[in-house]
Chain A
Amino acid sequence: MPALLESPENIVLEMQGIRKSFPGVTANDGVQLRLRRGEIHALLGENGAGKSTLMSVLVGLYRPDSGSIAVRGTPVVMRNPRRALRLGICMVHQHFLQSQRHTALQNIALGHAYLRLFPRWSRIRGQVERAAQKYGLGLDLDAPIALMPVGERQKVEILRALFHGASILVLDEPTAVLSRQETEILFQVLRSFAAEGGSVIFISHKLDEVLDIAHRVTVMRKGRTVFSGPMAGMDAPRLARLMVGRDIHPQQRKARDLSGPTVLSLRDVSVRASGPLPSLRQVSFHLKKGEILGMAGVSGSGQRTLAHLLAGLQRHHAGSFQLFGRPAPVGDVRAFTRMGVAHVPQDRNRTGLASGLSVMENLVLKHYRQLFCRRGIMAWDRARAWSVERIQELDIQCPGPGARTASLSGGNVQKVILARELAVRRPQDSAPRLVVAAYPCRGLDVGAAQELRRRLLASRDLGSAVLLISEDLDELFSLSDRIGVLFRGRLLGLYPREQLSRELVGLMMGGHVPPHLELGKGESEP
């Protein structure tokens, strides 16, 4: 960093006192952001902290209630994204806004002055190719966007920003969709962009990445700026503390007593593929009360089929499926619910809840028959009071039980589901007897994920058996008592966690079973 002076000409962007509220929520409450030339500036915060709102204000998608924006010392009103683009501010969205039917080059040129009635394609191509070469962003410009992997599509977005002459690049959680290697390439590009005098706002909630790439950091919490300063001397625990507002402790593990009754037992269970659900083949395992069984596997190996089977949504066609010592009432979700089987599904926003309905209507989905319905008539007053309890219990951030679920942030949406599912229990129990959780923390920030895992563990301590499907090996290893690996619909093995390492599980996820872990060895009969 050649110049980190506070001289006014070094400050390319100054946002001051930005306030933006939506009905019931103040998303930004007097936020400050100061961006310098040649700087990679991390914008850190939990889901719902107000990062995306702030950036939407910056690029002219939202109009702030109050506050000012100055670009290179001149106050401006961001009327629309086009105005922001003209001032050299370009945003790479988390979900790319690209035209599927057009090629990379056509998407890059979209909205540019060269693209008049008769586009000057050779000129456009020349400029784009030069930019691509300079930053090492090699890609096939004539490939249709629809056929490109996400990593490539992100390159297209960045090239588009460069081609449009962006001097301030805003990236909204750019690494969420990238592999390790792709992330490295992206970081290289950002570093050389900054070295050339460009500025980058890097939105993230991944601490290690922020530590890796950022020069300065602004931390947001609940709509406010809680910290802004250089990264020098910063470490992960301190960042996490700033972001979450409290200390984050690693999960404590202790030796666990697993002599409880068997909750669930599958023997040679096979499920036919149906629709998007792949098949399961001769899966056998059992699960005991108070046990967490982690299920690893590359996506599409049958995890969702397994979850649907265990939650009563899917039938098996062979083998035996015993639940609480009796044949499971397969295909009857309500019977599963009555027996105390909770299900946190993989697809939150369409399966897990109906985003068009209110928080209350989503919370009561599994209980309305037993708790709030008398001779077919709903007691909504009681349902509302009950919902308020659930909202308080899990600290769900929402204006109230009547709020539309679609307006909630990702972490809070997952909390709504968890609040409902953890309440799926028989009157005589204090927790669900079985919790089937598919990727419960995927996409959540550190704080929310931590909170959710704590809830799962608490439920386990109250006697729940938990089947935890995840792709996050750290999560599986920190929570599970035993870990199994699914590969193409088969259970490759199921072992006590102590017998496994991340490397072994990684190998098995690719279908390799190391010779000393023979198939099925780890499984003992109940």
Chain B
Amino acid sequence: MSLKLERRADTSLPAEALVLLASILLATMVGAVVFAAVGAPPLSALWVLLREPFGSSFGLSETILKTIPLAFCALAVALALKIDMWNIGAEGQLYMGALAGSWLALHGPNLPTPLRLPAILLAGALGGAVWAAIPAMLKVYGDVNEIISTLMLNYVAIAWVEYFVYGPWKGADGFPYTATFHESWQLPLLYRRVHVGILLVLALALLLYWAERRTALGYEVRVVGASVRNAHYGGIPVLSRLLLLMAVAGAAAGLAGVGEVSGVEHRLHAGISPGYGYTAIIIAFLARRNLLATVGVAFIFAALVVGGDGLQMAFPQVSSAVVQLLQGTLLLLVLTGGFFTRYRLVRSRGGR
């Protein structure tokens, strides 16, 4: 009797979920080894990692809070992947959304109060959309590789924010952040620090998921993603669909930025995102580009972030890099595990 790999005819959902679960378990074991190596008791460290994000109502609310920007940005990456565009620029789109929202709140026209929240969300979405449209246009009209252009524009976006918070928009106390937004520009809170952004991101994910399956635009995007030549042949306006999709992706990331300035910080500063846009790339991949799954995976990653913060407080010898190491291990394991959703082990009889 021997074992043999055979290609599965179809990938199954239970298999994918199993792989994700097994990967989390394995990554945890790797984490335990690392904790032991730096001198933290592995079991209690792991317990902190688990207790911190879920163990208390405060921890849970923090996890949900971190889910918001991660999920928005992951949607931005996953959407672009639908047409084989690599949006490495969610980070920059987030910053531009934050910048646009802050401009409106601090220096924009004096809008009537009930219009202010819709307006700031719109401004943020627009900021992100414009920032994502630039690499999309470069790609469409200049054949510029979007991986490079989206990545580079991150630095430009961050530099713009720095210019404003160190310069013209510097607050009265002289520190590199803006004045606090007036209350009418702040997103309402639902529970502790969790703002309405969580409802917005859930609604957006559902809407996009539905649009992908049920609308003509969704169908067209699927055709473009499957074969650009076929889309041209069928008369689908490929360039405009590509621009539209990237703009929507950028808008999602821009909303993440607005959520941070208007819902959490209530002011703009240069470190508004600790790299949500980059973590989002990992999330989009782990979610296999599935728009609904991105929200779930974002929640898991938010838990990792919150747990990691708690870990550093409980064990000073554990550096923040350990959490990144765990994230990386998880990605590696899931990508490897993807192999087993495509192949299966079969027993073969006899043979000499």
Name B229's contact: one of A23, A337, A347, A366 (CB within 8 Å): A347
**In the complex, what distance in Å separates the CA atom of A368 from the CA atom of B236?**
11
Given A357-B226, A368-B216, answer yes or no on A343-B6 (Cβ-Cβ < 8 Å).
no
* A313 part of interface (Cβ distance < 8 Å): yes
**Contact of B230 with A350 in the complex, beta carbons under 8 Å:** yes
Q: Which of B168-176, B179-187, B217-225, B307-315 contacts A (4 or more CB under 8 A)?
A: B217-225
Contact assessment for A356 and B226 in the assembled complex, using a CB-CB cutoff below 8 Å: yes
List, in ascending order, chain A residues with CB within 8 A of B233's CB: 311, 313, 333, 343, 345, 351-352
Tell me whether A455 is interfacial, beta carbon within 8 Å: no
Across the two chains, which residue of chain B brings its CB closest to A338? B235
Chain A residue contacts of B10, Cβ below 8 A:
23
Number of interface residues of B (CB under 8 A): 29
Chain B residues contacting A351 (CB-CB under 8 Å) are 227, 229-230, 232-233
In the complex, the answer to whether A376 meets B226 with C-beta atoms within 8 Å is no
In the complex, whether B142 has a CB less than 8 A from a CB of chain A is: no
Whether, in the assembled complex, B13 has its beta carbon less than 8 Å from a beta carbon of chain A, the answer is no
Residues of B close to A369: CB separation below 8 A: 216
Choose from A23, A63, A376 the contact partner of B215 (Cβ within 8 Å). A376
A378: Cβ under 8 A from any B Cβ: yes
Q: Are A354 and B216 in contact (CB under 8 A)?
A: no
Contacts of B229 in A (CB 8 A): 347, 350-351
**Mask for B41-65, Cβ within 8 A of A = 1, else 0?**
0000000000000000000000000
Shortest C-beta distance, A366 to chain B (Å), equals: 6
- The listed residue (A345, A361, A376) touching B223 by CB distance below 8 A is A361
Q: A334-B235, A337-B235 are in contact. Are A377 and B215 (CB under 8 A)?
A: yes
Which residues of A are found within 8 Å of B9, using beta-carbon distances?
A: 22-23
Which single residue of chain A is at the shortest CB-CB distance from B234? A365
User: Chain A: how many interface residues by the 8 Å CB criterion?
Assistant: 36
Question: What chain A residues lie within 8 Å of B235 (beta carbons)?
Answer: 312, 332-334, 336-337, 366
Question: A337 — which chain B residues lie within 8 A by C-beta?
Answer: 235
Question: Which residues of the partner chain A approach B218 to less than 8 Å between Cβ atoms?
Answer: 378
Q: Is B107 an interface position by the 8 A CB rule? A: no
Docked pose: A490 CA to B352 CA in angstroms: 64
Considering the chains assembled together, what is the distance between the CA atoms of A313 and B231 in angstroms? 11
Chain A residues near B352 (CB-CB < 8 A): 76-77
**Beyond A77-B348, A333-B234, A334-B235, is A378–B215 a contact (Cβ under 8 Å)?**
yes
Q: Is B192 an interface residue (CB 8 A)?
A: no
User: Nearest CB to that of A23 among chain B residues?
Assistant: B9
Q: Shortest CB–CB separation between residue B198 and chain A, in angstroms?
A: 27
Contact A378 B219 (CB under 8 A): yes
Q: Which of A26-82 contact B (CB under 8 A)?
A: 63, 76-77, 79
Is A353's CB within 8 Å of the partner chain B?
A: yes
Known pairs A63-B6, A357-B222, A361-B222; A77 contacts B230 (CB<8 A): no
Looking across the interface, which residue of chain A has its beta carbon closest to that of B350?
Answer: A77
Question: Closest CB of chain A to B209's CB: distance in Å?
Answer: 14
Considering the complex, give the chain A residue whose CB is closest to the CB of B6: A63
Give residues of chain B (316-352) contacting chain A, Cβ–Cβ below 8 Å. Answer: 346, 348-352
Question: Does A365 lie within 8 Å of B223, measured CB to CB?
Answer: yes
Within 8 A of B (CB), among A1-45: 22-23
B4's contact among A76, A79, A380, by CB below 8 Å, is which?
A79
- Do B216 and A378 have beta carbons less than 8 Å apart? yes
B interface footprint on A357-384 (CB within 8 Å = 1, 0 otherwise):
1000100111011000100111010000
Shortest beta-carbon distance from A106 to chain B in Å: 28
**Are B348 and A79 within 8 A (Cβ)?**
yes
Report B-chain residues with C-beta under 8 Å of the C-beta of A361.
219, 222-223
For residue A336, which residue of chain B has the nearest CB?
B235
Q: When chains A and B are docked, how far (Å) is the Cα of A23 from the Cα of B235?
A: 33
Distance from A156 Cβ to chain B, minimum over Cβ atoms (Å) = 28
What residues of A have a CB within 8 angstroms of the CB of B219 in the complex?
361, 364, 368, 378
What separation, in Å, do the CA atoms of A366 and B235 have in the docked complex?
8
C-alpha gap A337/B232 in the complex (Å): 13
Please list the 10 inter-chain residue pairs (A to B) with the smallest Cβ-Cβ separation, ordered nearest first. A333-B235, A354-B226, A77-B351, A354-B227, A334-B235, A365-B234, A356-B226, A354-B230, A23-B9, A373-B216
Query: Chain A residues in contact with chain B, CB under 8 A?
Result: 22-23, 63, 76-77, 79, 311-313, 332-334, 336-337, 343, 345, 347, 350-357, 361, 364-366, 368-369, 373, 376-378, 380
Q: Contacts A351-B227, A354-B231 given; 14 further ones with Cβ under 8 A? A: A63-B6, A79-B351, A311-B233, A313-B233, A333-B233, A351-B230, A351-B232, A351-B233, A365-B234, A373-B216, A377-B216, A378-B214, A378-B219, A380-B213
13 A–B contacts, CB within 8 A, in A order: A77-B351, A79-B351, A343-B233, A345-B233, A351-B232, A352-B233, A353-B227, A354-B226, A357-B222, A361-B219, A377-B214, A377-B216, A380-B214
